Amino acid sequence: MFFFDESLETFEMFSVSHLLADLFWIVAITLMIVFRRKLRGMPRFDRFIRPFLAIAMLSFQLVFYLWTFWRGAATLELLPFGLCHLAMYMTSATLLTQSKTLFRIVFPWAIIGALLSLVIADLTFEFPHFRYIHYFGNHGMFLFGVLYMMVVRGYTISYKSLWMSGGVLIGLAVPVYFFNRAYGTNHLFLSHLPGPAAAIQTAFGDWWLAGFVGFVFILFHLIYLVYFLIRGRKDRIA
């Protein structure tokens, strides 16, 4: 089938197709921000967009699993222990349940996972292959989803919830680290960093994991700083 043509395994990072995919989501998010007040007065749109994003992400993921099994490439790496996997599933749950607790946990994960993945695309298949659509579609949708809940629905985070989110992530990372050691997987990039980011691992040497954790810690705080500056001091205790 055309959307599963193996000859399309020609993707290059920062190519035209890569930049166009990122531009699509930049435009979509910008339009959402610009028209946020109008969207707040459209409950029918809200009842449509939340389940649409959640179902679209879960459907794309199901097709991805089926395609991976079909081509005989299924490994333990498919288990949903990675940051983007977790962010996608939890964002879907947040959109469907409208849970503020889930939102506060997943918000930093979704922002970090999506932005890093959209900029440093760990992908081999070019448009219009399904894997290209799945990769940029799901990362863009869970980024759009959490921003929608904040910008349009008015959901908030606090510094306390930032630490809660980080604590949950660390709680997941500990067993995942030992799972990686036991089975040779690389969930949460706790065994090694992906190709484009390998220079960070080389720079820190044997202490690369501590450096990576510190980098994530800084990113969490940068996210909160941007949020704080945009929303103002009144929302710091949400």
At 37-76, the pLDDT tens digits run 999 999 999 999 999 999 999 999 999 999 999 988 889 9
Could you count the other beta carbons within 10 Å of the beta carbon of residue 215?
15
Q: Which long-range contacts (CB under 8 A, 24 or more apart) does 185-194 make?
A: 185/75, 185/76, 185/77, 185/79, 185/81, 186/77, 187/77, 187/79, 187/81, 187/82, 188/81, 188/82, 188/83, 189/82, 189/83, 194/120, 194/122
Give the torsion sign (CA, 179, 185, 187, 189): positive
Measure the CA angle with vertex 131, ends 129 and 137; round to 5°: 105
pLDDT band at 238 (very low <50, low <70, confident <90, very high): very low
Residue linked to tokens 């959901």:
155
Rounded distance between C-alpha atoms, residue 184 and residue 156, angstroms: 38
**Residue that wins the pLDDT comparison between 205 and 26:** 26
pLDDT digits (tens, 9 = 90+) for 157-176: 999 999 999 999 999 999 99
pLDDT tens-place string over residues 117-134: 999 888 999 999 999 999
Note the pLDDT of residue 65: 95
Residue of 211 and 126 predicted with greater confidence: 126
Instruction: Phi first, then psi: give them for residue 194, nearest 5 degrees.
Output: -65, 160
Residue 59, CB half-sphere, CA atoms under 13 Å: how many?
9
Whose tokens are 């103002």? That residue is: 232
Higher pLDDT, 101 or 208: 101
Q: What is the pLDDT of residue 6?
A: 86
Taking the CB of residue 130, how many other CB atoms lie within 10 A of it?
19
Give me the half-sphere count of Cα atoms (radius 13 Å) on the Cβ side of residue 144. Answer: 23
Quote the pLDDT of residue 101. 95
